[in-house]
Amino acid sequence: MKLIIQIPCFNEQDSLPVTLAELPRSLPGIDLVEWLVIDDGSSDRTVEVARALGVDHIVRFERNRGLAAAFMAGLDASLKAGADIIVNTDADNQYSAASIPALIAPILRGEAQMVVGARPIGQIDHFSPVKKALQRLGSWVVRVTSGTDIADAPSGFRAIGREAALRLNVFNRYTYTLETIIQAGRRGITTQSVPIRVNGDLRPSRLVRSIRAYVTRNMWVILRIFSIYRPLSFFTMVGAVPFGIGFLIGLRWLALFLSGTDRTHIPSLILAAVLLLMGVMIWILGLVADLISVNREMLEDIRTRVRRQELAAARTGEPESGDEEPRPLSSRAA
């Protein structure tokens, strides 16, 4: 059983040594533990520090591509390196490495394919009351959308089994945390949430520049993911708004007409017709999107099979077929 701990990094030369010093090199039930760093276009000495501290694998981007791309590149590199379990953690040492055994335990027992660490949000001093409330609200929305029972959806501290890693895809460029949970729920990947410990704050968050930006970004992420994975439900709810308003206006016009009013109220009738038609058109769009989602699911299954073939080819040393987009290379650190 091989476990790889992956760490997405962007200019982390100062915090990376602290994080690596806490990471384990052996764990109960695991035969081999390796470390992997994803350098997301850093302009400092992150890569040199990683090599000097004995990181086993390094994936490098020439330019900054964002946390979601770094996360997926780490999964690909970890799978190609033979990982049975992948643990993702942050380079700022936010998550306590002592919680890794608890994080991987459900996977080792065969109870889950993905496990998300639940931080004690109420006890984190550097989280403002507003941020704590938003974290809880966002996690509730994700639970409702995904049908999972994840207590801390924005948590990046998670363990992922090999099969789950093969099936995950991230379309959002901002972050992977919410999308992977919603996708897991929609694709039948069993998930669990376990309580974890956190460390002190080494630096301000680079994802949360302001509460307003954090709320806006995550709101659009959730809406986009919901429209991708539940298009019929999404467009049905959206279309119900203009249709409902148009229906009420139409009832008002009909009541006035039957009461024998002297005025024709033609503008109200036109507005009602336009809103009703708009609602029906949005519902038709939902039906089309639902049909497209079937094709997307088939393409995801094909992609999963291709990734399995790539891994099998990498293990046997055979060249990979196809003209795929070049990916960052995983290399053994010197």
Residues 6+ apart with CB under 8 A from 290: 231, 232
What number is the average pLDDT over the span 172-198?
85
Q: What does the pLDDT read at residue 240?
A: 95
Q: Identify any residues that bridge with 34 across adjacent strands, giving them in sequence order.
A: 4
What does the mean pLDDT of the chain come to? 84
CA torsion sign, 146 to 150 to 154 to 160? negative
Q: What does the pLDDT read at residue 144?
A: 78
Please tell me whether residue 134 adopts helix, strand or coil conformation: helix
Q: What is the pLDDT of residues 270-282, one digit of tens each?
A: 999 999 999 999 9
User: How far, rounded to the nearest angstrom, does the alpha carbon of residue 4 sit from its chain's CA centroid?
Assistant: 19
Confidence of residue 108 (pLDDT cuts 50, 70, 90): very high
Rounded (10°) CA dihedral 219, 225, 226, 232:
140
User: Is the pLDDT score of 154 beyond 50?
Assistant: yes
Both tokens of 125, joined, read 């001093």
Question: For the chain, how big is the Rg over CA atoms in Å?
Answer: 24
* % of the chain surpassing 70 pLDDT: 87
- The answer to whether 119 touches 193, Cβ cutoff 8 Å, is no
Q: What is the pLDDT of residues 300-312, one digit of tens each?
A: 778 778 877 877 7
What number is the average pLDDT over the span 19-47?
94
Q: What does the pLDDT read at residue 333?
A: 43
Q: What does the pLDDT read at residue 97?
A: 93
